[in-house]
Structure 1
């Protein structure tokens, strides 16, 4: 029994180390992508930054494209889980979607590389099957089933909403490049970005059938603290 427990412990320790190594590689890849862009990063740079042997990289990923895909999936699955936590106490599906849209835009503004990767992920074939797209489908279905939302075609509505959010993210990314000025200017821009996120959320809610007045009221509601909050 003691030998068996030791074997289990060894397996658990090896699994933990493997997870930790993979996480270090992903974190290093994100930092390098933020600094140099996707095309400017090499596998060797990633392994050096993660303090991982070059050969060990291939125990986790098959190529640079493989780690970039994993990085995108990891970032947005974690963010989607965060949004789930933030909205866990909200009973109104409209409030859930408003919070999700606002947090997404605010984070894209404050972390431009994250926003760029969001656009990349949202244009992929798996956009609706995981991460933010999956949550948006889920929350819209809930709103429709509760008769909170009124839409003619759920899928087309969600696709148009994703397009609206991506357009908002693109606009925020452009503004982010102009925001490194005086402290006062940053405060003005922070207020502007928050209002922009509210307006975008209100447009999204109107797409789900809410009146303009109600959509704007919900979009201006308190925002739970979290990424970009």
Structure 2
């Protein structure tokens, strides 16, 4: 692993004061590790692919995919996009490095995946599939319309059209929670306005109790 910034050599300036540590070697080692990780990923992605001739998949330029944010809408769009890439397979009759990496779908061609917010939902799901089953199996699950992964999303991701007793119960509880929250806010607002009106009168009445002339006759409880 590359040395930490604290272990980097300190280069003094002409006045003898230390300046910013030189991190050139560290960045170089980091880039080398990144290149090794990409090479290993491409090697695993090419497993089971037809021979690509003399060309090597390692010579191909690096490719990345960025999935933007936007909540459920962005996640839905990103899922459709990644499924389209997984279903798009190049012509494997020609032995090319491109065909070797993407023989199970164009997702195998991706070296980087950058996500944010809604896109992160789908990106995290795909990353989990790759870490669990590998690139090839992950692409097959993404491409298949009846896969267990997509089936689970369809059963548990109906935000607008709930179905079944479970979804109906959740929708009812959500509605009641929102209804109670709104009326509780109105209730506390009315209580606050009422206190603004009543408190001055209560204060005036409390001052009158200190004046003996303003006391009304107190009747005994025995009469």
Q: TM-score, length-normalised on structure 1? A: 0.29
* TM score, norm. by length of structure 2: 0.30
Which structure has the bigger radius of gyration?
Answer: 2
Instruction: Identify which of structures 1 and 2 has the higher relative contact order when contacts are C-alpha pairs closer than 8 Å and 6+ apart.
Output: 1
- The structure carrying a bigger helix percent of its residues is 1
